[in-house]
Amino acid sequence: MSYKMILVDSTEPVGLITLNRPEALNALNGELMNEMTQALRGFEADENIRAVVITGSPKAFAAGADIKEMQDMNYVEAYMKDFITANWEEATRCRKPIIAAVAGYALGGGCELAMMCDFIIAADTAKFGQPEIKLGVIPGAGGTQRLTRFVGKSKAMEMVLTGRMMDAEEAERSGLVSRVVPADDLVDEALKTARKIADLSLPSVMIAKESVNKAYETTLQEGVMFERRVFHSLFATEDQKEGMAAFAEKRTAKFKHK
Ligand code: HXC
């Protein structure tokens, strides 16, 4: 498969997607999102890939949905083509872990895409924002919901109502990103982290991801019950036997991902 707007590298066990539309600061148009959907589906289906990294350029992870593509759209068109559900939400459907590696602008749909990933590692140059209000609209890819869950109501409300950007330091302090690294090290750090995850038991990793995500979807009691059930289920894996035997024998575990 050849792509025009993204670069795809699948040096196993990590799949890397680099948004590559520099002339528009990686503005997310339909074609780019279709390509990303394809690439993510490919990684999901490829049994040699056990973790994914999505990144952009040093200047922009993505400066938002493509404003020029949206400007003439009317309500009926938006509704009939189910803008943006059709090709924006693949990252939320993937069962393998996805890390967003963000440098520069992550605005509007760019910030929303990063938040759809499992966690965000930010360069010290990163700037996050939901500036849609300045365009006469609001976030439409989950921003009002996910940002509020990440940083709390007061900060999310201020950002959504004013369009103010948050720098990397504030984003880390507020819980939006897991950590901040020097810009030059961003992609290496994200790949290193992805490889670390890829070395672990894939069933455990996927179930851990599913379980943490439950915290956003359900009550505490139901979430804990879900966790208990899937925790029990992991004792059916070969990797649990290997992981615990390796600890007892003071050696490194060799997971079979089974
Ligand atoms: C289309 C965009 C774009 C965007 C930048 N460009 N952002 N094109 N859609 N979201 C284009 C510019 O038009 C310009 O093209 C080129 O990229 C470089 O941008 P500049 O503005 O010249 O760069 P700079 O002065 O460095 O300013 C950077 C910036 C600014 C602050 C990030 O570009 C900006 O404010 N962009 C828009 C951010 C935004 O509002 N995002 C939210 C979009 S709405 P030319 O051809 O002139 O060189 C959204 C809704 C999501 O995301 C809802 C779900 C889909």
- Residue among 67, 72, 125, 166 whose CB has most ligand 1 atoms within 8 A, to mutate: 67
Q: Is the predicted pLDDT of residue 99 greater than 90, yes or no?
A: yes
CA of 184 to the centre of ligand 1 (A): 23
User: Where, residue-wise, is CATH 1.10.12.10 in the chain?
Assistant: 201-249
Task: Work out the percent of the chain whose per-residue pLDDT is above 90.
Answer: 98
pLDDT for residue 202 is more than 90:
yes
For residue 38, how far is its CA from the centre of ligand 1 (angstroms)? 24
Q: How far is CA 137 from CA 3, 64, 107, 146, in A?
A: 30, 13, 14, 17
User: For residues 95 and 209, is the Cβ–Cβ distance under 8 A?
Assistant: yes
| Residue among 211, 67, 185, 196 at smallest CA distance from 137 | 67
Give the chain's mean pLDDT. Answer: 97
> In this predicted model, what pLDDT tens digit does every residue of 149-182 receive, in sequence order?
999 999 999 999 999 999 999 999 999 999 999 9
Could you read off the pLDDT of 32-48 as tens digits, one per residue? 999 999 999 999 999 99
What pLDDT shows up at residue 120?
Answer: 99
Do 62 and 101 contact (CB within 8 A), yes or no? no
- For the residues 210-225, what does the mean pLDDT come to? 97
Helix (H) and strand (E) counts in the chain:
13, 10
- In 3D, which of 36, 15, 42 has the Cα closest to residue 198? 15
Average pLDDT over every residue of 66-93: 95
Q: Which residues are catalytic?
A: 65, 109, 112, 132
The CATH 3.90.226.10 domain(s) of the chain lie at 6-198
| Cβ 51 vs Cβ 198: under 8 Å | yes
Question: Can you tell me which residue has the tokens 């990686």?
Answer: 26
In CATH terms, 6-198 corresponds, of 3.40.50.1820, 3.20.20.140, 3.90.226.10, 3.30.70.100, to: 3.90.226.10
According to the model, what pLDDT value does residue 219 have?
A: 97
Range 201-249 has CATH code 1.10.12.10: yes
Inform me whether the pLDDT recorded for 1 exceeds 90. Answer: no
Q: Would you say residue 214 has pLDDT above 90?
A: yes
Q: Where are the alpha helices (DSSP H) in 49-175?
A: 67-70, 75-80, 85-88, 90-93, 109-116, 143-151, 153-162, 168-173
